[in-house]
Amino acid sequence: MITTLVIKNYALIEDIRVDFNEGLTIITGETGAGKSILLGALALLLGKRADLGSVKDASKKCIVEGHFAIANYNLESIFDENDMDYESHTIIRREILPSGKSRAFVNDTPVALAQLQALSPYLIDVHSQHETLEVATENFQMDVIDSLAGNSSLLKLYSKEFADFKKTSEALSLLQKEKEDASKELDYQSFLFNELQQANLSKLNQQELEETYETLNNAEAIQDALSNVNRLLDEEQIGTLQSAKEARIILGKIKEFSTVFEGFWERVNSIILELEDISSEVGNTSEKIEADPEMLFQVNEKLQTLYKLQQKHAVSSVSELLEIEKNLEEKVNTTLGMDDAIEKLEKQKALLRQTALKTAASLHQKREKSIPLLKKKLEATLLPLGLPNAQFQFELNASEDFKASGTDTLQLLFTANKGMAFGSLKKVASGGEMSRIMLSIKAVLAEYKKLPTIVFDEIDTGVSGEVANKMADIMHQMSKKMQLLSITHLPQIAAKGDHHIKVYKEDKNNITGTHLKVLEKEERIIEIAQMLGGKNVSEAALANAKELLN
């Protein structure tokens, strides 16, 4: 419930603070006194967009602040879901700065309007004769039925199941789209992969292949060169080895005379050993090399395949081709493996669908059972409100399509007179009838669920006499279970209030301002008397006012 409302520099209000209590609070005042300003301030607290034009003095900051006692509202989860700090005594503040910028705070923490708008329906519910079209919406009507049916737990369960079903359905659609896109490239990717795989790249050494090719392609020239080398090294008359050996013999005769000569001998000896080794290897290699046209052809084919693949994939090494082959294999396998994943998701979706349908069917059954009771209560409530022949007809049908609250579609049909055809509320109910229907529905709801503070803004327009008395009785009865504020012009309703606030305008220093005053008992008598007979209060009006209050 709202406990305090502070308004500064808003419209015709300079600075007011009003405290609210439990029960029924009546708000009265002459037309144009500023009752709508209170509603405008409340709308800011509920998340309406701010307008600099509503600020009294544009050079100063405008502040609207509301204090709410919500310990019994069980709103902790709502605060958590919207990332706000929960306090059993919650303070909401809106500020409009001279720059036109608006700010919102919940418990002194800045919040976005979306966060405030998510919270506000749980705090205040405003109704006026011009804003009763909500009662004609399917969502509102379904919510009423669910309240009577006690479907709160089932709705939470269904909401989770529906969310799981939607999540799985979206994942399945995404995977199917990915498979569709991937399938278009699968053939080409498979071709590239097979082409690389057939090349047997892991067993290819490009450098060895190129050396082998050059060797086989130049076998005759290589053999001639190696023979000449061997001849130069080891020919008996002029070979390098022979000359070196002769030098070693000569040095051997003098090596003992000096370490220098001994060093010469050792170096020549090392050269001889290295040359002998080279000569031996050259000879062996020369014997191994021979022209092999078939092998040359095979090596050339491998190299040409390798060069073509490198050119196609714009790389220069076997290792890069192997990496490409690996990536292609993963893509091909992923695409081929999507069928299994899709099949798994399809089964999961079907299972979740059946689970949600089962819960939706339970919701439907409980709704069907509660409709006769709701019909009876609404028609009984409207009977004394000047609609003795009002009748409702609820058409509840189950479908196969999921909605936020199940699979049901609902149409509420209404007729106010006997012998008249039923029609949808928004088509056949007048503004006055819609107001009374809304009041009746809220009265029934108050029996079954914890409602937020309700504000009725002249919902009684066009009503008088005994009907007004009955409306007052309903409001008073509702206020025993909830906080209710009623802006009214009817003395019958004003007299039923537990508390009474008067809104009035006053001129000071040639400036008009709106003010609020909490009326005491004697002041209430005068106010109600004026509502009955005008400003010039008669004794009869005073007596009538006292009688109404008693």
CA distance 307 to 201: 12
Long-range contacts of 237-240 (CB under 8 A, 24+ apart): 240/275
CATH superfamily of 1-123+452-519: P-loop containing nucleotide triphosphate hydrolases (3.40.50.300)
pLDDT at 325: 72
Domain with CATH 3.40.50.300 in the chain: 1-123+452-519
Distance CA 89, CA 520 (A): 27
What is the pLDDT, as a whole number, of residue 140?
87
CA gap 202, 326 in Å, rounded: 11
Q: Which of 431, 360, 436 is nearest to 392 (CA)?
A: 436
Q: Are 503 and 34 in contact (CB under 8 A)?
A: yes
- pLDDT number for residue 229: 67
DSSP reduced 3-state for 456: strand
d(CA 133, CA 433): 11
Owner of token pair 């609250």: 405
Q: What is the pLDDT of residue 80?
A: 92
DSSP calls for 86-137: --SEEEEEEEE-TTS-EEEEETTEEE-HHHHHHHGGGTEEEEEGGG-GGGGS
Q: How far apart are CA 138 and CA 154, in angstroms?
A: 19
The span from the CA of 431 to the CA of 426, in Å, is: 9
Q: Show the tokens assigned to 373.
A: 């009771």
- At 382, the amino acid letter reads L
Is residue 431 within 8 A of residue 443, CB to CB? The reply is no
DSSP-assigned letters across all residues of 18-86: EE--SSEEEEE--TTSSHHHHHHHHHHHTTPPP-GGGBSSTTS-EEEEEEEE-TTS--HHHHHHTT---
| Helices and strands, counts by H and E, the chain | 17, 15
Burial class (CB in 10 A: 0-12, 13-18, 19+), 44: buried
pTM attached to this predicted model: 0.68
Cβ-count burial of 228 within 10 angstroms (0-12 exposed, 13-18 middle, 19+ buried)?
Answer: exposed
The CA–CA distances, whole Å, from 203 to 93, 194, 208, 342, 407 equal: 75, 16, 11, 37, 63
List the structure tokens of 504: 């009035």
- Predicted confidence at residue 193, as pLDDT, reads 63
Q: Coil, strand or helix: which one is 290?
A: coil
Report yes or no: 252 and 269 within 8 Å, Cβ to Cβ. Answer: no
3-state DSSP call for residue 271? helix
What are the start-end ranges of the E strands in 120-198?
124-128
pLDDT, position 465: 82
CA–CA separation, 352 and 295 (whole Å):
65
CB count, 10 Å around CB of 514?
24
Report, as ranges of residue numbers, the positions in the chain whose pLDDT lies below 50.
none
CB-hemisphere CA count at 13 Å for 297? 3
Q: Which residues of 56-77 are buried (b: 16+ CB within 10 A; e: fewer)?
A: beeeeebbbbbbbbbeebebee
pLDDT at position 523, please? 93
pLDDT value of position 297: 75
Q: Collect all residues with Cβ–Cβ distance below 8 Å to 354 and sequence separation of at least 6.
A: none
